[in-house]
Chains A and B, each alone.
Chain A
Amino acid sequence: MAKTTKLTLSEWDTLHNNGPFPLKILYKTKLESPAVMPSDLDRYNDAAQEIQKLLTEAKNKNEGFRAYGSAWSMSSIAHQKDRMHFNAHMNTYFSFRDQDLHHLSSYSAENLFLFECGNVVKEISEKLAGHGKSLKASGASNGQTVAGCISTGVHGSAINFGSVQDYVVGLNLVIGPNPGDIVYLERHTKPALNDAFVQKLRSRVIRNDGLFNAALVGLGSFGFIHGVVLEAQNLFLLKRYVKELDKDKAIELAEKQDFKAFKGIPEEVKSNGEANIPYHYKVFINQYKDNGKYVAEFMYKKPYKLNYPDPFPVIKKSLYRDLVNLAVQIGSRVPASIPVFINALKSSILPKTDEVSIGTLAETFWDAPYQGPAFAISFGVDHTNAGKALKVLSKVSIDEGPVPGIFAMRFIKKSQATLSFARFPTTCMIEIDGVLWNEKKKLGTLKGLSKKMIAALQQNNIAFTIHWGKNADWKFSGLVDHMYGPDAKTWRKYRCSLLSDDMQDLFSNGFLKEVKLDKKEPSDPQLLQSLL
């Protein structure tokens, strides 16, 4: 049997010290040993039973329950004041054969894998590499669990692809403690697994696009995500270039996405004069220095081959936040000094210009060890508004700050998930990342900064979304309705139809209440119909 350790705690915190938050009980579940239970499928189903047992315990005490993995989110989305479940040790996985696929499936069996919730991006990449496969995209690093990634919408800057949830084709959810409370969801227009395999997961299948899209970015509130079926692709390499561009050119590329006409990287210009379209485009912006230039990072997909140059000498030089930490400690006493420190440290904060490396996706978006308390505020806007929104947000950060962080822009395609913040045809994620400061000192508050940023975007009529896992003034009046309109209600209707009344409460948390997504809607059995 899977083994759960139960710890009585008084508080819990995120990796980046965005708490602490109150907590009563922390569960940690480990799978049964393969020596005792050799079948992966048996161990997986055994773990599902264990989760149902824990749900019964929470339900009997009339308390909430929330799973989390790596605690990378900086918002309180992963927190539940009653019971939290650490699932990173639930990390088995399955590959598939043709006979496991639905007869209408357009997927290739060799590209489909089921990963249990606690697999982190790095171990998924390593397991996939053993099959000659790769994830299609990831975040900027690799420590998030797959369930955490899709619940919050983790993204990179794959300009012609989307976020992590966009290669998920099936969800195995534990939605309650009773028999029949394990469901497998997939799209009816793009089925993946057949009923025979779903039965092996002791699940009932619902093929329904609307339900699947609602549950996909489920904010941890659509039940316990036990497994995720994802579509991988053949291993590939990413060739990474760092260039200093004129500000106007960097913003023009962001807003027009006309990379074919961009000749700034001669190696990527084809013989017909057209340039290759990058896989990834990211712009770094130091709002405290206007020298007319931005640092931009481009990555181009290349076929996988062995014996490419070692990427780690370049990759391992990431943010040296220790230095920025020191700047903040000094800067919090004399806020005006923060821009001076950030400018002085820019060579440590920004990637080195004209740097080139090549590696797999997993190598390129590699480890990010803990480097001290951190914050991040991340807005999604239509890419055509990138320049305007950046101007508005950086002005707020200067007027309200100075804030110990710098801006960056990344780009992702629209997601089909109902509550994905990648809502625009191409969403530009404008983010300010930095070091958490002591709010008791002379600098303002993080929430206050976020509030001003939200208000400024609204005043400038720039439609926006906010990354679910990042810092924000989530209590801002009417925020979710402003960002998602009727889709917020659609999401609630699917949630309230899938979960029983008591499970809606059990899988809720303070964050859901803050953003008013806990509001109950009448259950509609039509929404749960399997349409295939």
Chain B
Amino acid sequence: MKLKKYLFPSVFLVLLILLLFQSCYSVRLASVNGTPNPAAPMVRDDYYRAVEVTELDTVITIGLENKDFTYLIKVTDLCPSGKLHTVEYRNTFGALLLSAVTFGRKRKVKIKYVCMK
């Protein structure tokens, strides 16, 4: 009887955890054309080893008067052209939750991007 009492919440908890894991994912978009900005020296050991990658992990706040938000890619040392070659964005349950509880005013942005050479 005791077992039955705890079975449902336990299964629910496991399903919830599984759902949480599934809600974390990355999507990468890359241009077919264009040459990515190369890295020297090469210090990473992941997909971005050969290129200069910018990692952005921040929360943006959207004012009530704004419908949406545009993050500008500007010319920097890591992005000499100011033009995008690859963008990888990561979605997490926490980010979804943050947006939900703030009615979309706060949005977690976790992206990696590589610019054109």
Contacts and interface: CB of A to CB of B under 8 A. Distances in A.
B109 interface: no
B34 A15 contact: no
A26 B40 contact: yes
B117 to A, nearest CB: 7
Contact of A12 (B34, B41, B47): B41
B50 A15 contact: yes
Give the size category of A's interface with B.
20 to 34
A32 to B, nearest CB: 13
Greatest chain B CB density within 10 A among A12, A71, A123, A369 is at A369
Contacts, number: 46
A116 B100 CA distance: 52
Give the size category of B's interface with A.
10 to 19
18 contacts: A7-B41, A13-B41, A13-B42, A15-B50, A17-B45, A70-B38, A86-B40, A86-B41, A89-B38, A89-B117, A120-B35, A120-B38, A122-B35, A126-B35, A143-B50, A369-B47, A370-B46, A370-B50
Contacts of B40: 26, 28, 71, 86, 88
Given A86-B38, A143-B50, A370-B46, 14 more contacts: A15-B50, A26-B40, A28-B40, A70-B50, A86-B41, A88-B38, A91-B117, A120-B35, A120-B38, A126-B33, A312-B32, A370-B47, A370-B49, A372-B45
Nearest to A311: B32
Interface of A: 7, 9, 12-13, 15, 17, 26, 28, 30, 70-71, 86, 88-89, 91, 120, 122-123, 126, 143, 312, 369-370, 372
A91 B36 CA distance: 13
B46 to A, nearest CB: 8
Greatest chain A CB density within 10 A among B35, B42, B46, B80 is at B35
Nearest to A123: B35
A503 B80 CA distance: 33
B49 to A, nearest CB: 4
A30 B50 CA distance: 18
Contacts of B80: 30, 89
Interface in B9-49: 32-35, 38, 40-42, 45-49
Given A370-B49, A370-B50, A123 B117 contact: yes
State the 7 A-B residue pairs at the shortest beta-carbon distance, nearest first: A86-B40, A370-B49, A123-B35, A88-B38, A122-B35, A370-B50, A15-B50
Contacts of A369: 47, 50
Contacts of B48: 370
B29 to A, nearest CB: 13
A126 B40 CA distance: 23
Contacts of A88: 38, 40, 117
Nearest to A362: B33
Contacts of A13: 41-42
A9 B40 CA distance: 11
Contacts of B117: 88-89, 91, 120, 123
Nearest to A27: B40
Contacts of A312: 32
A370 B43 CA distance: 12
Greatest chain B CB density within 10 A among A9, A17, A312, A370 is at A370
Contacts of A120: 35, 38, 117
A372 B48 CA distance: 11
A371 to B, nearest CB: 8
Contacts of A122: 35
A126 B35 CA distance: 9
Nearest to B44: A370
A71 B50 CA distance: 9
Nearest to A316: B32
A86 B46 CA distance: 21
A15 B117 CA distance: 18
A71 B47 contact: no
A15 B43 CA distance: 9
Contact of A126 (B34, B47, B49, B50): B34
A12 B40 CA distance: 9
Nearest to B33: A126
A26 B41 contact: yes
A386 B35 CA distance: 36
Contact of A9 (B38, B41, B45, B50): B41
A120 B48 CA distance: 17
A18 to B, nearest CB: 12
Contacts of A28: 40
